[in-house]
Amino acid sequence: MKKLSIQNLDLKGKTVFVRVDFNVPVTGGEVGDDTRIRGALPTIRLAIENGAAVIVASHLGRPKGVPEDRLSLKPVRVRLSELLGTDVLFAEDCVGDQTEEMRKKLVSGQILLLENLRFHEGEKKNSPEFAEALAKGVDIYINDAFGTAHRAHASTAGITEFVATCAAGLLVEKELEVLGKIVSAPQRPFVAILGGAKVSDKIPIIKSLIKQKVNKLLIGGAMAYTFFKAEGYTVGKSLVEDEMMPTALEIKKMAEEAGVELFLPSDHQVVDSYDPLNSRRVMPIEFTNAGLVGLDIGPESAARFEAALEGAKTIIWNGPMGMFEEKPFDEGTNAIAEAVAKATENGAFSVVGGGDSVSAINQAGLSESISHISTGGGAALEFLSGNDLPGISALDDVKAQNTH
C-alpha cells in the first residue's frame, strides 16, 4: 500500500513534527560531514514554504538515555541554520515545560530543532508516555529518517499513535519508490554485491535475493571466510563465524538450485598475525596458512567482480570488501566503487547503501555516478529482505489518511 506523502497535505498554519536523521559526525563542536543534513533540506523547505511551523527531531550517536555534551545537536543547529539561510531555534531538551513553551510560541515559517532524542530512555524503549510528550501540540507527523525506519522507537513509531496525520517526507518517499521497484520488478541482469564482517547480519537479505532470482551474487569482506572455512579451506586467523558455517553451505546450495551465480574472492590481501605491519602480501585463497589474516580482497578478485558487473541492468551494493578504514586495505572496496560507477555509466541502475560503501563512493568522488545512494544501510537491507519497517508501517496509507 502506498504511503501518504507530505506532498499530499495542506500544511498552512499547521505544526509539523519532522523526524530526520541528523546522526552526523561532530568533531571539535563542528559537523564533519553534512550529507544527512542536506538530505533533509527539501522536506523542511517544503514545510516552511507552505506555511507550517516546523519541529525537527533527531538522535545523535548512542547516549545511554542521559545527556552527554559531546552528543548535543547544538553544532547541527548551527550547520542547519547556515544551509537554510535562516535562524533555527534550539530547545535544550526534546520534551518538558521549557520545550513546550517554545513549541507554543512557534509561528509559520519558523523551525525549532529539539535536543538529542536519545538523551531519554523512552526513545529507544518506545515509551508511550515519551511518545505522547513528543506529540504535544503537533498537527502532522512526517518521517524523513529512512535510516532509522527499521527501529520501533518513540519518534519513529510510538508518536504516530498520538498524531492525527502521519506521512512520509520527500527523502523517505524517494527511498520507498526506488527500493520498491527493485523488490517488485528489477531490470535484469540483476547483480548484488554484499560485504562486511558477518554472514549473520546478511542472512535474510542473501536468502531474499536468491529467492528474487538475482542473477549474480558477489560476496566479499570478512563474511567470505565463513564460506571458505565451511568448504574446508584454511583461513588462518581471518574473521569467521563458526556457528554460521552450516548456513553458508545452505546458502551455496540455495544459489545453485536457483541458478544464481555465486562469486567469492579468489585471492586476498593478508598479513602475518606475528608481524602485521611489515608482512602484507597478496595470495590465492587456497594458499592461506595458519598464521595469516585476510584483510581485503585481492586484485584478481576485484577484476573478476568488475567483469561480473558487465552488462548488468540493476546493481545493489552493501558492505565493504575488506578492512576499509585502514589503508591499504581499502583498495578492494575502492575498486568495487569504481566498477559500480562504470557499470552505471554503461546503463545499470545502481543502489549503494551502508556507511562504508557510501563513504567509498564519496571519497572516490563518484556519488554523481551512482543512480541512488540510500540513506539507510540497515533499513534498506530490511526492506529488500521483504520485512516491514516499523517507521514506515506506522505511517498513513494514501487511501486511509483519516483513519488514525
Kindly name the residue from 36, 77, 118, 216 that is annotated as catalytic.
36
96 a catalytic residue: no
Largest CA distance in the chain: 69
Please state, in angstroms and rounded to a whole number, the distance separating the CA atoms of residues 313 and 386: 21
Residue from 41, 134, 151, 123 nearest 94 by CA = 134
* Catalytic residue (choose from 45, 125, 136, 198): 198
Q: What is the DSSP letter of 103?
A: H
Q: Tell me the per-residue pLDDT of 356-372, one tens digit each, with 9 for 90 and over.
A: 888 888 888 898 999 99
Q: What are phi and psi of 136, to 5 degrees?
A: -55, 125
The answer to whether 216 touches 263, Cβ cutoff 8 Å, is yes
> Of 221, 319, 378, 391, which one is the catalytic site residue?
378
Does residue 17 sit in helix, strand or coil?
A: strand
pLDDT at 401: 47
Strand-pairing partners, residue 351, are: 316, 372
The model's pLDDT over 240-273, given as tens digits with 9 standing for 90+, comes to 999 999 999 999 999 999 999 999 999 999 999 8
SS3 86: coil
pLDDT at 105 over 60: yes
Predicted confidence band of residue 8 (pLDDT cuts 50, 70, 90): very high
What is the pLDDT at residue 375? 83
Percentage of residues in the chain having pLDDT higher than 90: 80
- Domains recognised in the chain with CATH numbers: 6-173+389-400 (3.40.50.1260), 186-373 (3.40.50.1260)
Q: What kind and span of H or E run contains 190?
A: strand 190-194
Q: What is the pLDDT of residue 1?
A: 66
> What's residue 403's pLDDT?
47
Which pLDDT score is estimated for 385? 82
Q: What is the pTM of this model?
A: 0.86
> Quick one: DSSP state of residue 87?
P
pLDDT per position as a tens digit, 313-349: 999 999 999 998 889 999 999 999 999 999 999 999 9
Work out the mean pLDDT of the chain and round it to a whole number. Answer: 93
Angle between helices 331-345 and 299-308 (to 10 degrees): 20
Locate all alpha helices (DSSP H) within 185-232, ordered by sequence.
Answer: 203-211, 223-230
Verify whether residue 85 is a known catalytic residue.
no
Q: Is 198 a catalytic residue?
A: yes
Task: Based on the residue annotation, tell me whether 355 is a catalytic residue of this protein.
Answer: yes
Measured from the Cβ of residue 192, the count of other Cβ atoms closer than 10 Å reads: 27
Three cell numbers written together for 136 = 504535544
